[in-house]
């Protein structure tokens, strides 16, 4: 298993260190190439992601990424120049973000809801493409546009992926959008779900406006099985999803090229958390669970399940905050 490792900024190296050690326990022969990408390299060389970096990263089976972003660099430079550039260049059209409430994990919701849904967020289109512009900047007549790009090809492939997921789960697919206002893109998404759905007659489909979806996620998260949505709505609702299912410290994700042409990239949903970086405080569980998603993606379901069970057991016995290294050590001890 040849892994490209991008530890990145802030808490990235700390959580990725633990995740890699976990992978080493459950898989024989993990070979890693570490890439120095992020704020340090940017300050030292002005480089974000070179063609040579990208060509070399492509030679791997998968990518494990920690976090990108640092307060010493203007907001967005590293995020766009590195993270989004990789998602686009490697055609990571599926951004897979599962939300599972593990036993004994407290959640900030009334009742004692069980939560087990997965958001299939489109990863290469929507308002993320940089397809906009500004004129008359700095004048009272400044105009800025940010165009949401939605192609039939791009929507169809992510919708199809979501149906495939739903079929092997509880067979329910919810489209989340804002079709009452975003009529053009909304129509494309709704028609695509309807048409692709004809090929999956046993999957029930429904629709939810994104604003209402945020309410349901807080009041009745058990109603969701698979959610399919665009890049920006998916970004927003997966932060809520993480918050309601145990916190951002547990939320894992995969940026997937479902065609298998390019290596897929697995990363915790959380950011670089500079406020706690270097203090052995960050929860490495999201990075470790991202490692489990990576294993499952590469076909090692047994190893993925072992990691997830060890994490579940660790969470069940947690009574208070545990350090980064201690959490990793406890999970490895269970394995």
Which residues contribute to the site for ligand IPM (CB under 6 A)?
A: 79, 83-84, 235, 269
248 binds, among ligand IPM, Mn ion, none (CB under 5 to 8 A by kind): none
Is the Cβ–Cβ distance between 18 and 284 less than 8 Å? Answer: yes
Other Cβ atoms less than 10 A from the Cβ of 96: the count is 24
Catalytic residue (choose from 194, 206, 211, 220): 211
Active site residue 257: no
Q: Shortest approach of ligand IPM to residue 84 CB, angstroms?
A: 6
- In the annotated binding site for NAD(+), the residues are 271-283
Burial (CB count within 10 angstroms: exposed 0-12, middle 13-18, buried 19+), residue 140: exposed
Rounded CA separation 84/206 (Å): 30
Q: How long a stretch of residues is the chain?
A: 335
267 contacts Mn ion (rule: CB under 5 A): no
Rounded CA separation 39/9 (Å): 6
Catalytic residue (choose from 61, 116, 207, 239): 239
Nearer to Mn ion, 109 or 243 (CB): 243
Active site residue 235: yes
79 binds, among ligand IPM, Mn ion, none (CB under 5 to 8 A by kind): ligand IPM
230 contacts Mn ion (rule: CB under 5 A): no
Q: Shortest approach of Mn ion to residue 15 CB, angstroms?
A: 16
Nearer to ligand IPM, 205 or 264 (CB): 264
Active site residue 220: no
83 binds, among ligand IPM, Mn ion, none (CB under 5 to 8 A by kind): ligand IPM
Instruction: Collapse the DSSP code of 144 into the 3-class scheme (helix H, G, I; strand E, B; otherwise coil) and give the result.
Output: strand
Long-range contacts of 83-88 (CB under 8 A, 24+ apart): 84/128, 85/48, 85/49, 86/49, 86/54, 86/57, 86/255, 86/265, 87/123, 87/124, 87/255, 87/265, 88/124, 88/129
Q: Residue 146: CB partners within 8 Å, gap ≥ 6?
A: 127, 131, 132
Catalytic residue (choose from 53, 91, 225, 235): 235
Token readout for 65 is 């990424």
235 contacts Mn ion (rule: CB under 5 A): yes
Nearer to ligand IPM, 197 or 234 (CB): 234
Active site residue 178: yes
Active site residue 128: yes
Q: Shortest approach of Mn ion to residue 272 CB, angstroms?
A: 12
Q: Shortest approach of ligand IPM to residue 79 CB, angstroms?
A: 4
Q: Shortest approach of ligand IPM to residue 121 CB, angstroms?
A: 8
Catalytic residue (choose from 42, 128, 230, 300): 128
Report the relative pairing of strands 116-122 and 94-100 from DSSP bridges.
antiparallel
Nearer to ligand IPM, 118 or 269 (CB): 269
Q: Shortest approach of ligand IPM to residue 140 CB, angstroms?
A: 30
Hey, CA dihedral for 328, 330, 331, 334, is it positive or negative? positive
- In the annotated binding site, the residues are 87, 97, 121, 211, 235, 239, 271-283
Burial (CB count within 10 angstroms: exposed 0-12, middle 13-18, buried 19+), residue 141: exposed
Hey, CA dihedral for 245, 308, 203, 120, is it positive or negative? positive
Nearer to ligand IPM, 26 or 67 (CB): 67
Other Cβ atoms less than 10 A from the Cβ of 146: the count is 13
Rounded CA separation 267/64 (Å): 6
Catalytic residue (choose from 102, 161, 178, 225): 178
Nearer to ligand IPM, 5 or 203 (CB): 5
**Which of the residues are catalytic?**
128, 178, 211, 235, 239
Can you give the binding site for Mn ion, defined by CB under 5 A? 235
């Amino acid at each position: 298993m040849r892994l490209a490792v991008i530890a990145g900024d802030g808490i990235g190296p700390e959580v990725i260190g633990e995740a890699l050690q976990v992978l080493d326990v459950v898989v024989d022969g993990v070979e890693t190439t570490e890439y120095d990408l992020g704020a340090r390299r940017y300050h030292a060389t002005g480089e974000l992601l070179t063609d040579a970096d990208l060509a070399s990263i492509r030679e791997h089976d998968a990518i494990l990424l920690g976090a990108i972003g640092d307060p010493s660099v203007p907001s967005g430079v590293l995020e766009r120049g590195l993270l989004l550039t990789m998602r686009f260049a490697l055609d990571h059209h599926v951004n897979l973000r599962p939300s599972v409430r593990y036993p004994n994990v407290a959640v900030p919701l009334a009742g004692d809801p069980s939560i087990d849904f997965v958001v299939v967020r489109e990863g290469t289109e929507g308002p993320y493409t940089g397809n906009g512009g500004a004129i008359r900047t700095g004048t009272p007549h400044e105009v800025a546009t940010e165009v949401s790009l939605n192609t039939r090809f791009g929507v169809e492939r992510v919708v199809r992926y979501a149906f495939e997921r739903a079929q092997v789960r509880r067979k329910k697919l919810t489209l989340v959008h804002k079709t009452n206002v975003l009529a053009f893109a909304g129509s494309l998404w709704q028609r695509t779900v309807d048409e692709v759905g004809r090929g999956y007659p046993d999957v029930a489909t429904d629709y939810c406006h994104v604003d209402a979806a945020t309410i349901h996620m807080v009041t009745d998260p058990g109603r969701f099985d698979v959610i399919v949505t665009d890049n920006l709505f998916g970004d927003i609702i997966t932060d809520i999803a993480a918050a309601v299912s145990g916190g951002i410290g547990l939320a894992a994700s995969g940026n997937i090229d479902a065609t298998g042409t390019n290596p897929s990239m697995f990363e915790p949903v959380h950011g670089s958390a500079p406020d706690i970086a270097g203090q052995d405080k960050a929860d490495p569980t999201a990075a470790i669970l991202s490692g489990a998603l990576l294993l499952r993606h590469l076909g090692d379901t047994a190893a993925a399940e072992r990691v997830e069970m060890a994490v579940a057991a660790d969470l069940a016995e947690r009574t208070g905050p545990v350090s980064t290294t201690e959490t990793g050590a406890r999970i490895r001890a269970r394995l």
